[in-house]
């Protein structure tokens, strides 16, 4: 059995696109930082939105390999190399998130960093998922 529920403190406004907290039970899956390259380690684009979409698709592949899906993600940390580029791609990122992950009951943090280890990478997403008990 897998269970997770967004937590919203009384009187707080509902956040847009994430949850303030998540309560969950089940098997935990910790996903390393996914960047915007394909399974062969190649970048198809230097566009921020395209890299974010690919990073989310890579995350979804790891989830599937573990027997999960986007509905099981409870926490994400986004590392971005340019917050203005991230914000400008917001609509495109939101669409990709809805299509690939689908679940906004995710505790999220976004942090601007000076650089990522892979020079062409503009975004890196790490995640925690809670999967159904085996």
Judge contact between 60 and 69, C-beta under 8 A.
Answer: yes
Q: Which residues pair with 131 in a beta bridge?
A: 27
The residue ranges of every structural domain in the chain are: 3-131
Taking alpha carbons only, the member of 12, 15, 24, 34 closest to residue 108 is 15
Say which DSSP state 71 is in: G
pLDDT tens column, 13-32: 998 888 999 998 999 999 99
Radius of gyration of the chain (CA): 15
pTM above 0.75, yes or no: yes
User: SS3 for 23?
Assistant: strand
Domain at 3-131: CATH architecture? 2-Layer Sandwich (3.30)
Joined tokens for residue 32? 């390393």
pLDDT tens column, 34-71: 999 999 999 999 999 999 999 999 999 999 999 999 99
């Amino acid at each position: 059995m897998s269970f997770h529920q967004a937590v919203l403190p009384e009187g707080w406004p509902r956040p847009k696109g994430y949850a303030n907290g998540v309560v969950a039970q089940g098997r935990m899956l910790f996903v390393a930082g996914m960047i915007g390259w394909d399974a062969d380690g190649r970048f198809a684009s230097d566009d921020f939105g395209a890299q974010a979409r690919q990073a989310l698709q890579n995350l979804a592949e790891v989830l599937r390999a573990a027997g999960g899906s986007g509905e099981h993600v409870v926490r994400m940390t986004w590392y971005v190399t340019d917050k203005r580029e991230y914000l400008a791609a917001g609509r495109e990122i939101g669409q990709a998130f809805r299509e690939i992950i689908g679940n906004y009951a995710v505790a999220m943090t976004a942090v601007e960093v000076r650089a990522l280890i892979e020079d062409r990478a503009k975004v890196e997403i790490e995640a925690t998922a809670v999967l159904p008990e085996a």
